[in-house]
Structure 1
Amino acid sequence: MVLLLCIVGNGLVCLVVLRNRKMRTVTNLFILNLAISDLLVGVFCVPTTLIDSLISGWPFNQLTCKMSNLVQGMSVSASVFTLVAIAVDRFTGIVYPFHHRLRPVSAFFAIIFIWLLAFAIIFPSAVRSTVKPLDGICMLQDNQIYPVFVCFEDWPKEEMRRVYTTVIFIYVYLAPLGLLSIMYGCIATKLSKNLRKNRSRSKKRIKVIKMLIIVTVLFMVSWLPLWTLMLLTDYQDLDRPQIDFLSSYLFPVAHWLAFFNSGINPIIYGFFNVNFRRGFQSAVACASCNSLVSEMRRAYFAFIRPNKVSAGNTEAPNRQKGHFITVMPRTMGQGIQDIVLQDIN
């Protein structure tokens, strides 16, 4: 279900923004970038994480291990940084309405910088990711003994892993949440002051702020369990039964919750934004019309009407025929959410 939500929902978001020229605003370009990162989560992260949670050990090769961690980390980092970029754009547009706003070209270069920054932050994790067999753990199948492989970050020292986890936690979760809270707090204060001056305009903006608050809270709630488990496994000396319990029960639930955040975003877009809702309906209606036309064409070519019998020809023309412990890798599957607003300034 989460996989379908990620692919279908975010695919529709990309389609709506790319097809409609009027929706290619700065904010919607950032929304497009968020949808692309969520699509990467659905295509590359959800299947590998699901298979790794269901079977014993890591079933893929080392390249898949590195790429899985790299794509997941880059996707979630790019989503968070894009969310902050949208908040900055909204902040300057509402709190400082006479300042210079971002142009679409500037937003495009900002998106490139976001992905480069995300790559730089997650690259050490991909480099240290490797596939190795678990010591003393084997799997018996058909009277054959097989080693159990795991995908994990192999650091020279345990302190290096802890430092890296802390840095990622601050830059990808804690600091963005702090910036979002500050900027949206200033926006809410500014809107409350302007509510009496222009009531209709302020009501539209208040609806936008409500959506931003929901997006921020969903992001915080969805990713907090996974970050808590990652910090717990790095900073606590857990024994084998405890690791077995976390890997078998808590990590899969935490991953599902984090990935669900990527699939729920298009629903938020459609609920809060009229243009996206109309775009979704148009895309679905267009797909339905195309399928109906194709069915009519098939029916037409399968049952062609016979030609009229000409005078002097009395023959009718012919018709055409027609359970071992599995140490989960550091997966930061993406997702963070996004914001769909019109350029109301």
Structure 2
Amino acid sequence: MCKTFLTVQIMCVSASVFTLIAIAVDRYYAVVHPTSSGVTMAGLRYILVGVWVAAAGTSVPEGLVLTSTTYQGVYTSDGQVMTTCDEVWPGPYYHAGYALSLFATSYLIPLSVVAVLYVRISRRLWYRPNPGASRNRAPAVNSNELYVSYNSRSDTVTTHIPTAAQSQSVHLQRKLQVIRMLLIVVVVFALSWLPLHILTVVSFFANLTNDTVIIMYHYVFPSIHCIAFANCGINPIIYGYYNNNLRKGLYQLFRKSS
């Protein structure tokens, strides 16, 4: 149990981070290279296997050094012999090296890759011409942009077609909405995981007192772990908030279920 719990925890955290990279790569090809064949089912299987193999690789060192230690003569508050799960490293440099490598592979590199891909996606969306637009004619009007008004006095229904300027404004708002969503995803990821990695690295190199260590491991670390793990649940909320089709689908699903 000692080896399993923390090892699986690191593996699952790394898998969620690597999945964000896979999603960013898929969106990059869908927007920047739309004519490509895309990801096939076989390719999807390779991606999933690659994500979990890479995640398992980041957790292997932790599983090798975790050891259950029993302290004879030391008892817990309920009278049982105290047993702890300790990391027994060959030397301090191994521990520091693993902490820095985990910081790089689970935070710095994924954040850099996702940020670069989303910047390129945003640039492509911003400079992409509106559908149906050309030099000599106004952009084509999307049927979703039409709206209907009802006059109760004359009992008539009127369909309003937006002008070219209004249509341009709608497309611009949609571009800004997607770019804003991508920016928020990157910022939330960076802010959610940064405190955990900073305190993890600092705890290895700083000369902390016993009282400080107790406070960190009993109060600070549980709080920042919750903040980091909450990132996995916040992303679907962000996607749903900025995706009108997803909101409509969920609304219809709840209406049918009720």
Match 1:183 to one of 108, 117, 120 = 117
Partner SS state of residue 207, structure 2:
coil
**Correspondence 1:210 to 2:144:** no
2:89 is matched with 155
2-side partners of 1:124 and 1:86: how far apart? 27
For residues 115-134 of structure 1, the aligned pairs below 5 Å read 115-133=52-70
Partner SS state of residue 262, structure 1:
helix
For residues 68-147 of structure 1, the aligned pairs below 5 Å read 68-133=5-70, 138-141=75-78, 144=79, 146-147=80-81
RCO (CA 8 Å, sep 6+): is it higher in 1 or 2? 1
1-side partners of 2:172 and 2:49: how far apart? 33
CA offset at residue 225 of structure 1? 1.0
1-side partners of 2:214 and 2:251: how far apart? 46
Task: State the identity as a percent.
Answer: 33
**Correspondence 1:266 to 2:236:** yes
The code of the aligned residue for 2:228 comes to A
Q: Which moved more, 1:254-263 or 1:165-174?
A: 254-263
Partner SS state of residue 76, structure 2:
strand
1-side partners of 2:201 and 2:19: how far apart? 24
The code of the aligned residue for 1:207 comes to Q
Structure 1: tracts of 5 or more residues without a match? 1-62, 289-345
Q: Is the 8 A contact 2:17 2:106 kept in 1?
A: yes
2-side partners of 1:136 and 1:227: how far apart? 36
2-side partners of 1:223 and 1:181: how far apart? 15
1-side partners of 2:40 and 2:238: how far apart? 25
1-side partners of 2:209 and 2:177: how far apart? 49
For residues 188-267 of structure 1, the aligned pairs below 5 Å read 188-194=122-128, 199=168, 203-267=173-237
Match 1:172 to one of 86, 101, 106 = 106
Q: Is the 8 A contact 1:87 1:183 kept in 2?
A: yes
Structure 2: tracts of 5 or more residues without a match? 134-138, 140-167
1:46 is matched with none
Q: Structure 1-normalised TM-score? A: 0.57
Aligned residues: 222
The code of the aligned residue for 1:68 comes to F
1-side partners of 2:216 and 2:225: how far apart? 12
Partner SS state of residue 132, structure 1:
strand
The code of the aligned residue for 1:168 comes to L
1:326 is matched with none
CA shift in 2, pair 1:111/1:213, >3 Å: same
Query: Which 4+ stretches in 1 moved above 6 angstroms?
Result: 134-137
The code of the aligned residue for 1:181 comes to A
Q: Structure 2-normalised TM-score? A: 0.74
